[in-house]
């Protein structure tokens, strides 16, 4: 009797536990690999420039092809600016619980205050940040917090809610939600406004602005538009109807696809989310060298500084050996003004026909 019990125990419970353990190990390894792979693909994708895009200087005008290359910004304004003109940031509680508002976050907001001059700057999210830089901005009424729950609804499949693939996608959905509701501009905190007036100029002539990322797709770091933009609505809707658990699918590929389908609606801005280019030495050229990366004509710079390994925690860190990154941050910190934009500078890019 005892022997059979022990046999039964050996034959069922132990394999069961071993199975669970094996499953847990495999899923841990799978998730680690997925995260590593993402970081690697991200770097690789940003190192390639050529592909399914054309810049105006290479484009062949062909009016019969759905106006793909018709645009310039020479036409007179057709829209007023969204009123009031909001700049929206989004931040949900991070996994590590860090609520501090960093010096570089502060500089991003100051770049907007000085060079974009929106009517209001709002941070949407599920916690109020802490720290002196947040207090500095709020005491001067330069930013306000609006409470927002993290959106996680990405539609249904076989009558069950689909799972959101990356927690970062919540913030992307939230960006599109606030744009569809209020209009305006959304930016990540590693976006710095340089020629913010340019974004307003575009918004007076297009329903939406999105950012060129790389040959594979656009980047959601900076998006702007009027609340009745079909492009923004369709992009937001993609997260419900065709959400895919893939880092780039909705945030990059769908945006590019829609910019090709709705070329008259949307301006894809160049030299913002692809400048500096986070690839190997080019990243170093911006973050560790001086004068190699031209940033002064761009509407804004999406720095991707988390990939650079250069810490800027206080204004002291802006001193010392000059780099282009520090030069840009100092220009913001000291509210300097820049010379006029190079007249040959172009910042529109098209999805190729």
Ligand X SMILES: *[C@@H]1O[C@H](CO)[C@@H](O)[C@H](O)[C@H]1NC(C)=O
67 binds ligand X (CB under 6 A): no
Nearer to ligand X, 49 or 144 (CB): 144
Nearer to ligand X, 199 or 232 (CB): 199
Q: Can you give the length of the chain in residues?
A: 353
130 binds ligand X (CB under 6 A): no
Nearer to ligand X, 25 or 65 (CB): 65
64 binds ligand X (CB under 6 A): yes
62 binds ligand X (CB under 6 A): yes
Nearer to ligand X, 90 or 187 (CB): 187
12 binds ligand X (CB under 6 A): no
CA dist 312 and 333 (Å) reads 12
Nearer to ligand X, 137 or 148 (CB): 137
316 binds ligand X (CB under 6 A): no
113 binds ligand X (CB under 6 A): yes
Nearer to ligand X, 139 or 147 (CB): 139
Among 12, 41, 65, 281, binds ligand X (CB under 6 A): 65
Give the strand order in the sheet containing 184-187. 144-147, 120-125, 86-91, 184-187, 217-225, 208-214, 266-269
Cβ atoms of residues 300 and 191 within 8 Å: yes
- Burial label, 295 (beta-carbon count in 10 A; 0-12, 13-18, 19+): buried
**Candidates 21-29, 59-67, 191-199, 259-267 — which segment interacts with ligand X by CB under 6 A?**
59-67
Q: Which residues of 86-112 are buried (b: 16+ CB within 10 A; e: fewer)?
A: bbbbbbbeeeeeeeebbbbbbbbbbbb
114 binds ligand X (CB under 6 A): yes
Least separation in angstroms between CB 260 and ligand X = 14
Among 93, 335, 338, 342, binds ligand X (CB under 6 A): 335
Considering only residues 207 through 246, tell me which ones interact with ligand X, judged by CB under 6 A: none
Counting residues that bind ligand X (by CB under 6 A) gives 11
CA dist 238 and 154 (Å) reads 9
Nearer to ligand X, 47 or 54 (CB): 54
Least separation in angstroms between CB 110 and ligand X = 7
Considering only residues 134 through 173, tell me which ones interact with ligand X, judged by CB under 6 A: 136, 139-140
Nearer to ligand X, 53 or 134 (CB): 134
Cβ atoms of residues 205 and 228 within 8 Å: no
Least separation in angstroms between CB 135 and ligand X = 7
96 binds ligand X (CB under 6 A): no
Among 337, 339, 343, 344, binds ligand X (CB under 6 A): 337
Least separation in angstroms between CB 232 and ligand X = 29
Least separation in angstroms between CB 204 and ligand X = 22
Contacts to ligand X by CB under 6 A:
60, 62, 64-65, 113-114, 136, 139-140, 335, 337
């Amino acid at each position: 009797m005892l022997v059979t019990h022990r046999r039964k125990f050996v034959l069922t419970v132990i394999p069961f536990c071993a199975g669970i353990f094996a499953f847990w190990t495999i899923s841990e390894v799978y998730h680690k690999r997925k995260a590593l792979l993402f970081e690697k693909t991200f770097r690789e994708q940003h190192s390639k420039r050529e592909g399914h895009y054309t810049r105006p200087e290479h484009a062949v005008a062909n009016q019969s092809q759905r106006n793909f290359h018709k645009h310039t910004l020479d036409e007179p304004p057709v829209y007023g600016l969204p009123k009031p003109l909001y700049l929206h940031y989004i931040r949900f509680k991070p996994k590590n619980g860090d609520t501090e508002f960093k010096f570089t976050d502060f500089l991003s907001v100051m770049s907007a205050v000085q060079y974009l001059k929106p009517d209001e700057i709002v941070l949407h999210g599920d916690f109020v940040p802490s720290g002196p830089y947040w207090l500095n901005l709020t005491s001067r009424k330069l930013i306000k917090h609006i409470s927002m729950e993290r959106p996680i609804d990405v539609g249904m499949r076989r009558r069950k809610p689909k799972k959101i693939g990356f927690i970062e996608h919540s913030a992307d959905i939230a960006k599109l939600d606030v744009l569809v509701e209020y209009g305006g501009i959304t930016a990540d905190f590693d976006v710095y406004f340089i020629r913010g007036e340019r974004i307003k100029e575009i918004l007076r002539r297009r329903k939406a602005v999105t950012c060129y990322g790389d040959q594979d797709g656009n980047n959601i770091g900076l998006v702007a538009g009027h609340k009745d933009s079909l492009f923004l609505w369709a992009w937001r809707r993609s997260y419900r109807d065709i959400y895919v658990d893939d880092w780039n699918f909705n945030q990059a590929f769908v945006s590019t696809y829609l910019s090709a389908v709705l070329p008259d609606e949307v301006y894809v801005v160049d030299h913002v989310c692809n400048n500096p280019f986070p690839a190997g030495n080019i990243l170093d050229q911006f973050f560790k060298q001086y004068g190699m990366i031209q940033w002064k004509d761009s509407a804004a710079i999406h720095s991707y500084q988390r990939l650079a390994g250069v810490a800027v925690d206080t204004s002291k860190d802006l001193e010392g050996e000059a780099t282009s990154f520090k030069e840009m941050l100092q220009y913001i910190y000291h509210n300097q003004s820049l010379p006029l934009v190079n007249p040959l500078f172009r910042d529109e890019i098209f999805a190729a026909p």
